[in-house]
């Protein structure tokens, strides 16, 4: 039986990002590293606010479309209405069965 130790989840929760960094497209590129860091930051911020990142990105890109001059301030987690947060909540989205 595999035994887990205190801190195991926290330590290995970042393993994918660390191991994957050399496998991502353009791994030698500064721009690629900046994009990866930005995406990880956005995803972790959404998770802290208990917002489903996939649902948020889907709705955000649908809102933005091809007009990147739109004001996206209302899409920041702390600016979302309670109704929006509920619709995008991790609790309201379930993973498909395996």
* 89 C-beta neighbours (distance < 10 Å), count: 14
DSSP character at residue 51: B
Interacting residues of 92 by C-beta distance below 8 A, sequence separation 6+: 52, 86
- Residue found under tokens 């791994």: 27
* CA angle, 42 then 43 then 45, to 5°: 65
| pTM metric for this prediction | 0.67
Q: Give the pLDDT of residue 48.
A: 95
pLDDT tens-digit readout, 14-47 = 566 655 656 665 556 777 778 888 898 999 999 9
Name which of 95, 86, 25 is nearest 54 in CA terms.
Answer: 95
Q: Where are the domains of the chain?
A: 12-48, 50-92
């Amino acid at each position: 039986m595999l035994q887990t130790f205190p801190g195991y989840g926290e330590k290995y929760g970042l393993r994918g990002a660390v191991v994957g960094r050399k496998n991502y497209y353009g791994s030698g590129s500064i721009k690629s590293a900046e994009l990866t860091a930005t995406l990880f930051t956005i995803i972790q911020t959404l998770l802290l606010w208990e917002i489903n990142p996939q649902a948020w990105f889907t709705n955000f890109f649908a809102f933005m479309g091809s007009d990147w001059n739109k004001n996206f301030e209302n899409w920041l987690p702390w600016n979302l209405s309670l109704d929006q947060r509920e619709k995008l909540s991790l609790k309201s989205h379930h993973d498909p069965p395996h």
